[in-house]
Amino acid sequence: MSWKRIAAKKARLKGSPYKSAVAKKNLINEGRKLKPPCSCPRKCDEKIPESIRQNIFRDFWKDTFNWDHRRQFVISMVDEQTKNRSRPRNNNQAGRRTKSKIYHLQLLESKIVVCKIMFLNTIGITEKFVRVALSKKKESGFVIPDKRGKHPPKNKLPEEIRLSVKSHIS
């Protein structure tokens, strides 16, 4: 059973199709796919050719096997700035949003500003992935490393207690 989970975990990390590890549901996930470009007034689909979009998608999913590297890429391609204007709504309440996001895609040596839909569809991620990546950003601009699986077990005894037990037994 655990081998199936490991295989599913590796396939999910690559963005490949995988079978769910939950035995009851037994669902097959289709994996990550390059979604169609946007059709916005900015003409993002004309700025970024389809071959470049495919390369970005492949590099993001097939060539990177680490969530921290993916988050670092998203942080480097998304800029946050204070929102430009604030209009009073009902009863002069300010909105909840305080920052705007500017999305970029790399084209040769320059970053091209694109819309959110084009950015998310090119990489094959959701808005939540961007939000989480930006929340894990340090002041230095790097990502806080993922700590899943890195904590010592709660029931592990300290080394000096283990040594005293061994010396008592011997």
* Tens of pLDDT, residues 5-63: 888 888 888 888 888 777 666 788 888 899 999 988 989 889 999 999 999 999 999 87
Place 92 in a pLDDT band, splitting at 50, 70 and 90: low
Helix (H) or strand (E) holding 12: helix 2-14
User: In the prediction, which pLDDT does 93 show?
Assistant: 66
Q: For the whole prediction, is pTM greater than 0.75?
A: yes
Compute φ and ψ for 156, nearest 5 degrees.
-80, 130
Question: What CA–CA distances, in Å, run from 114 to 11, 62, 85, 119, 137?
Answer: 29, 23, 20, 7, 22
Q: Is the pLDDT of residue 1 over 70?
A: no
Scanning 15-158, the segments in alpha helix (DSSP H) are 44-47, 50-61, 67-77, 116-123, 127-135
Rounded-to-5 percentages of helix, strand, coil across the chain: 40, 15, 45
User: In the prediction, which pLDDT does 131 show?
Assistant: 94
* Tokens, residue 118: 């084009």
Question: What CA–CA distances, in Å, run from 19 to 30, 59, 75, 99?
Answer: 9, 23, 30, 39
Compute φ and ψ for 142, nearest 5 degrees.
-95, 165
User: In the prediction, which pLDDT does 116 show?
Assistant: 94
Judge contact between 120 and 44, C-beta under 8 A.
no
Please state, in angstroms and rounded to a whole number, the distance separating the CA atoms of residues 166 and 148. 32
* 102-140 per-position pLDDT tens digit: 999 998 889 999 999 999 999 999 999 999 999 999 988
Handedness of CA 90, 93, 95, 99 (dihedral sign): positive
Q: Is the pLDDT of residue 144 over 80?
A: yes
Q: Is the pLDDT of residue 2 over 70?
A: no
